[in-house]
Amino acid sequence: MIHFLLDASLILVLFLFVVQSVRLRRRDRHFQVLADSIERQEKMATMGKLLAGIAHELKTPLGAISCSLDTVKRALGKMDEAMEGIGNSPLDAGAAEGLARAMKAKKIVQDNEPIVDQALTRTGQLVRQLRLVGRGDHDDPVPVDINELIEGSLILMTHELKQDVTMDLQLGDVPSVDGWPGPLGQVFLNLILNAQQAIEGPGRISVFSGVEGGQVVVKVSDNGPGLPEGCLENLFSPGWTTKSEEEGTGLGLFISRRIVERHGGKIEAGNNESGGAVFVVTLPPSSKGAPEAGA
Residue pLDDT, tens place only, 40-58: 655 555 555 666 666 666 7
In 3D space, the residue among 192, 190, 181 whose CA is nearest the CA of residue 236 turns out to be 190
User: CA–CA separation, 225 vs 162, rounded Å?
Assistant: 17
What percentage of the chain carries pLDDT values higher than 90?
18
Rg of the chain over all Cα atoms, to the nearest angstrom: 29
What residue ranges in the chain does DSSP mark as E strands? 142-144, 165-171, 177-179, 203-212, 215-222, 266-271, 277-283
Inter-residue contact 242 to 250 (CB < 8 Å): no
pTM equals: 0.57
Query: Measured between alpha carbons, how far is residue 236 from residues 240, 257, 263 in Å?
Result: 7, 7, 17
Specify the CATH class of 142-283 in words. alpha beta
Helix or strand or coil: residue 265? coil
pLDDT tens, residue by residue, 187-205: 898 899 889 888 888 889 9
Lowest mean pLDDT of 17-21, 42-46, 231-235, 282-286, name the range. Answer: 42-46
pLDDT tens, residue by residue, 207-248: 999 999 999 999 999 988 888 777 777 777 765 565 554 555
Helix or strand or coil: residue 211? strand
Q: Per this entry, what is the length of the chain?
A: 295
Q: What is the pLDDT of residue 293?
A: 40
Domains of the chain, residue spans: 1-134, 142-283
pLDDT tens, residue by residue, 132-179: 665 555 567 889 999 988 988 887 777 677 778 888 999 999 999 998
pLDDT tier at 295 (50, 70, 90 boundaries)? Answer: very low
Longest Cα pair distance anywhere in the chain, in angstroms? 130
Lowest mean pLDDT of 17-26, 78-87, 147-156, name the range. Answer: 17-26
In 3D space, the residue among 260, 295, 293 whose CA is nearest the CA of residue 279 turns out to be 260
Mean pLDDT of the chain: 76
